[in-house]
Structure 1
Amino acid sequence: MTGGRAEHFAKEIAASGDIAKSRADLIARTELGRATGALDQARALSIGSNGYIWRTAEDGDVRHSHREMEGKFVEWGKPPTLDGMTGHAGELPNCRCYKEIVFPTSHSYPA
């Protein structure tokens, strides 16, 4: 596969076997989020970033545990565990949160 949107990957996943569309959508969104997150982290680490500020979609669908993370600093090497799952913003199943990357000179957050 090459770059694309989650919808494209969901169609390919659904076509690969006996899998419901909703499950294919979940897998595609989650895996695309993880891949994007790994790239974000690699880029940020390469410029000396220690972490990011957790940001949510700020709507009624945001999970309580994710809402509690809004605005908190997260170190790259210490992803939080929320609802029994460990991962960074945007990398958990159905998570629409995102990382506001902290650059080395932008703020003084704990290392």
Structure 2
Amino acid sequence: MSVPTWARDALADVYDPCCQEKGISVIDMGLVRSVHVDQGRARVELLLTSGWCPFAARVLTDVKDRILAQPGISDAEVEIVWDEAWTTDRLSEKAVRVLRFLPPPAAVPDRDGYIAAHSLGRSDKS
């Protein structure tokens, strides 16, 4: 699926309220699956991280408003798609860095060493 550069730029500061304080946009979260335009009418497909997202309506409205504000767009439809599950592999590199997902425990043979190497405020003396 594709998201044109103009749409990425337009949605770069649209946030799911859960991620706004961390500066992770709907683009960084990988929530925008595709944007297609036909004769000025845009169709945006969104994935949700959870089917129970309490902020889905707000995100839909914010995305629609931002797409409608773009040159050449006269109408916009934003739809949540359910045929694909959102997974963490959709996150941008920025989102992965900010959210700091932990590896599976079996992948970390030295727990204390891992924590020391990845703690905020550690001092690198290399």
Quickly name the TM-score band, shorter chain normalised: under 0.3
Q: TM-score, normalised by structure 1?
A: 0.24
Q: TM-score, normalised by structure 2?
A: 0.22
Structure showing greater relative contact order (alpha-carbon pairs closer than 8 Å, 6 or more residues apart):
1
